[in-house]
Amino acid sequence: MNLGLDFTGGMVTEVKVDKQLTNHDLLDVLQPKLGESTSVTRSGEDGRWVIRYSAPEEGQTLPSVADVLKPISHQVDVVSNSIVGAQVGQDLF
- Residue spans of the domains in the chain: they are 2-91
pLDDT of residue 8: 63
- DSSP E strand boundaries for the chain: 2-7, 10-17, 39-42, 48-53, 76-84, 87-91
Mean per-residue pLDDT of the chain: 86
Q: What are 4's strand-pairing partners? A: 89
pLDDT tens profile 49-83: 999 999 888 888 999 999 999 999 989 999 999 98
**Contact at 8 Å (CB) between 47 and 57?**
no
pTM: 0.80
What are the phi and psi torsion angles at 34 (to 5°)? -110, -10
Q: What CATH number is given for 2-91 in this structure?
A: 3.30.70
pLDDT of residue 50: 97
